[in-house]
Structure 1
């Protein structure tokens, strides 16, 4: 990616162990670097979306700033095995890193894209004067999303509930437990970031699938230097045509600036609409066309632009090879 340092790297690398047990409740352990499975949107290989070329605002942020470097343990029960309509999974994870999670959300705001940060990657953002000036915060205009700063262990809890193959609900609570007053030699601060995520998928018919996600959380850096609450949600639908798939998504996002640092406005709010048309060309190739409108306000844009408001139109055309 043009806004990072790495050209080749690792986004996920983990081992998963599912022992064979006679009991209907099955244990599972995952160790390594991976995404928590909180998304019902990014369910394809390599954490891609089977419906869109660009991710929702929620999962664009997850792809950029959040990755688990640790261990996850879970228990699950398949409803078909016990002749019931309901299946479930309960899980918990421990991790290190992710101490800078919240940087981009506060100093750049939500975005919609397909970027997945690599481990040891560096993501640049606009050099806002209050951030980079020596006599102000004196922090860099970049972040390393998975850096460990305070040696604290973060955690998350989650639960999945599914009704046959028709409906699914996923809930996660995440807390990186970062110490917000810790800063490393590169002047990167630890950000205390925590959130709730609720995702729902429902197959309304053999052709129509509805899915949605809501996220609510907060992030804190320094002794109230930056204190923000953030919210985002989307609703999406995917419809199977005769030989193609038509998908649409509506996004809303909001960052609320709760601190008293007037030189560093973090407030942002926006909404987006995405339309995607995908058609298989062969067993291996798929052609996708996507249009997106993203508009809103970002308070710190006045440092580089004449207005807080923005309106972005994008069109994408892609051929995907799957084998």
Structure 2
């Protein structure tokens, strides 16, 4: 599987370069200043991505949308990082079929590996955020543990075609390969960062004694987010409703339909994970964007060995400062809240966590292709399993970043 996926990644790269006019290139170097605590990626307690201060290759992306025929498009994103386990591979690769039709209701089919269009925040190329260096808690988790490896069918109607102010879309999907979704929420909790898991990737977390102990759960202190364990299909369905171009609401229901009693030879467990997501986006005027998302769900592993509810929400705003005389500047702010509730009686594996985060970002457009972004974030909360590694369950994490982005 690793050979096949890496081969597809290289083919995607070659195909993109050969068709440069329809391809976006993005390179981002980030200087980060944070507490001297170890990142979860290196089996540490910190919920942020980078290990230590200094300069990091936070994003290197080739994103392509290539028209194969009139009705067929090949899309993909090849990512590279200086951190994590898998540092070069695809995050998305899929074919889209959109047949030409005289009807006002249009159909579309996607087949491959892609994100459900669940986010109002990650709307830039390759599922990046145009406003923040660090994603919300919700979309950090989606970028880590969620990807559709399957097929999605949708129907849509553009209001302009029927002389209406309202547009809509309905969709449904069947997929495989998200059986371990829920692992990170339960054993690490929500995190805030912008690193998307790549195919064949592995995400590490704190080695909790009750998790790694051979006499207890006997699981590794890592997960592979897109591993197929039980050979069952998961599904999701959703709807989008938009008013003109100024407001949109999206609702999704997701169920990976995993067999909570399944475990593979590496002791990677399947987690039955379900959630509801509601996303809002509103543009009260051209220079101001307001957006928000609420997520609520549950995850189960084993015969009530791990049984957790989880929830998160954020509210964000992005303001173009040109009207204030600050040319080429955009300011953005976001407030996050998140929680994981432990409902089981497995005393050696406490999973409860809760917290909040404040994020402030300012982006300066040096040119149409080069951008400088500064961002400050405070993330604070409680996590029950930290009691095994420190005197209490509290954490407070500060992060300051300066990033130079080139986009061609």
TM-score (norm 2): 0.78
CA distance in 2, matches of 1:57, 1:44: 18
The alignment status of 1:178 with 2:258, answered yes or no, reads yes
1:265 counterpart residue number: 350
1:42 counterpart residue number: 122
1:253 is aligned, of 338, 343, 361, to 338
CA 1:116 to 1:75, structure 2 compared with 1: closer, same or farther past 3 Å? Answer: same
CA distance in 1, matches of 2:175, 2:353: 30
What CA deviation, in whole Å up to 9, does each residue of 1:145-174 have, x standing for no partner? 010000000000010000000000010000
Question: Equivalences for 1:93-132 in 2 at 5 Å?
Answer: 93-132=173-212
Aligned-partner SS, 2:161: coil
1:75 counterpart residue number: 155
2:133 counterpart residue number: 53
What CA deviation, in whole Å up to 9, does each residue of 1:162-216 have, x standing for no partner? 0000000010000000000011000111000000000000001122111000000
CA contact (8 A) 1:3 1:123 kept: no
Name the Cα RMSD after superposition.
0.9
1:32 counterpart residue number: 112
CA contact (8 A) 1:245 1:278 kept: yes
2:233 is aligned, of 153, 163, 168, to 153
Please state how far the C-alpha of 1:22 moved relative to its aligned partner. Answer: 0.4
1:225 is aligned, of 299, 305, 312, to 305
Spell out structure 1 runs of 4+ moving beyond 6 A: none
Please state how far the C-alpha of 1:5 moved relative to its aligned partner. Answer: 2.1
2:389 counterpart residue number: 304
Once structures 1 and 2 are overlaid, which stretch shifts more, 127-136 or 267-276?
Answer: 127-136
CA 1:300 to 1:2, structure 2 compared with 1: closer, same or farther past 3 Å? Answer: farther
The alignment status of 1:198 with 2:283, answered yes or no, reads no
Please state how far the C-alpha of 1:115 moved relative to its aligned partner. Answer: 1.1
What CA deviation, in whole Å up to 9, does each residue of 1:20-40 have, x standing for no partner? 000000000001000000001
How many residue pairs align between the two structures? 323
Please state how far the C-alpha of 1:305 moved relative to its aligned partner. Answer: 1.5
Aligned-partner SS, 1:21: coil
Structure 2: where are the runs of 5+ without partners? 1-80, 323-327
The alignment status of 1:284 with 2:369, answered yes or no, reads yes
Please state how far the C-alpha of 1:52 moved relative to its aligned partner. Answer: 0.3
Aligned-partner SS, 1:204: strand
TM-score (norm 1): 0.99
What CA deviation, in whole Å up to 9, does each residue of 1:118-155 have, x standing for no partner? 11111111111111111111111110001000000000
Aligned-partner SS, 2:120: coil
What CA deviation, in whole Å up to 9, does each residue of 1:285-308 have, x standing for no partner? 011000000000000001112210
What CA deviation, in whole Å up to 9, does each residue of 1:229-274 have, x standing for no partner? 0000000011110121000000000000000101110000000000
